[in-house]
Every structure is written in C-alpha cells, then in structure tokens.
Amino acid sequence: MSKLILTRHGQSTWNAENRFTGWVDVELSEKGKEEARKSGELLNKLNIRINISYTSYLKRAIETLTIILKSLSLPMKFNTAWELNERHYGSLTGLNKEETKKKIGEEQFKKYRRSWDVAPPIMTKDSNYLENFSPLNSGIPENKIPLSESLKNTYERVIPLYDFEIKKNLENGNNILISAHGNSLRALCKYLFNISDTKINELEIPTGNPLVIEFDNKLDIQKYFYLDESRAKKIIFNE
C-alpha cells in the first residue's frame, strides 16, 4: 500500500499581506517556517518512510520541503517540477485581495479566484513582477509559460506530471511527498477525488497541514486524512 502526502507550503510573506502571489517567488514568513516545522513533526509521528519527494520551482514550496526533510532526518534530495508551480494570477499578481474585491465586485472576484475555467486578465510582458519570478523558470519551454491561468489551465499541466511520473512511482510501492501550492494541489485533488467542475470551488487546502492519501495496489484510494485534525478541511469525494 503506497501513500501520497500532499503539503501546501507554509504561509508566505505575501500570504500574510493578503496579496495574489502566483508565480512571484516570495519567501516563507516566520509563521510559514513554523508551519513547515510542524508538518515535519506530524509526519515524523506518522512513522512512514518517504521514498520520493517533489516540489515546484518556487522557493516557498522548496523551503517548506527542505524543512520537512530535515525534520525527518532525510537527505536533501528531491525533484523539482515547474508543473507544480502555483497558478499564474496574471494581472492580479501583487494586488491586495480585499482591495481588489472592492474594486471589481464580489461576483467577478469569485470568478477570478475560485471558478474552474475563468482566468484573470493576462500579465503584460513588461510587468515589474516578472523580475521576481523564480530563476528556475528559465528551464521551462517558452511556449508553455503562461501570462495568466484558470484552475483548469493549472490542472492541464499538473495532471500529466502525475499520470506519467508520480503515478508510476506510486505503482512501484513508493511513498511520495509533494510540497506545492494551494491551486496546484487543488488541481491534483480534483483529479484524485473526482471532484466536479462546479464543486471544486469549495475545496480549501490549508497551509502546513499534510494530507495523507493511502492507495491499494490498484491505486484506488482506501483512506485519506489530514495530520492536524484541528485544521482539517473537508474533502469533496466522488461528487
């Protein structure tokens, strides 16, 4: 029986400021570092061996993973994949969420933030925020770099990575840890739990609280649970 452990990175400095972050490569806040350490402690108590780890190109997810691996006394060996990057928020990048909601109205705000297939307006190619993207992004094929994304667009890059690489490792009996982002993990959960396009807007992924998914040898889900029950969020399964 293999296990897939999904961990959203700890709070970032822009999470703390309530800003749309997307592909901007911000640091963890002190609270975020503590959340990552707590994730490591919870996984340590679970007493399972992590065989393979994955993370995105963004330092907040990479740092979360390195803190967890250190807590588990595991080597700093992991796979980075741009496909696990956070959703690209286009022209919303850097804006305060509350101020944006007041400016464009709650209905449009909800469409941009939580709908399945509505992307925000694109980021202009002269945006100052491009300077703050991860230098690792230089390894992404230019024709695959977005200027804005919906959750559907994010799903379309996350799921091929799962199907063609991560899934094979699970089939071989490996326990896998993924440190990624709210939307890349929402996309993966939509696939794994068969969540409908209309229900996916209800799925929340808490920061720094590992979600453990246990599979049988056919990769059917047998069990799933958050390690910190006090901060667990509802998983919509087979809707």
What is d(CA 45, CA 59) in angstroms, rounded to the nearest whole number? Answer: 26
SS3 227: coil
Side-chain-facing half-sphere of 172: CA atoms under 13 Å: 9
Question: Is residue 233 left, alpha or beta, with left meaning phi > 0 and alpha meaning psi from -120 to 50?
Answer: beta
Q: Return the bridge partners of 223, or none.
A: 214
Gap between the terminal Cα atoms of the chain: 25
Nearest 5 degrees, angle CA 65-CA 18-CA 117? 80
Question: What backbone torsions phi and psi does residue 52 show, to the nearest 5 degrees?
Answer: -140, 140
The pairing of beta strand 176-180 with beta strand 52-55: parallel
Q: Which residues are known catalytic residues?
A: 9, 86
DSSP-H helix ranges across the chain: 13-16, 30-46, 59-71, 97-104, 106-114, 151-161, 167-171, 182-192
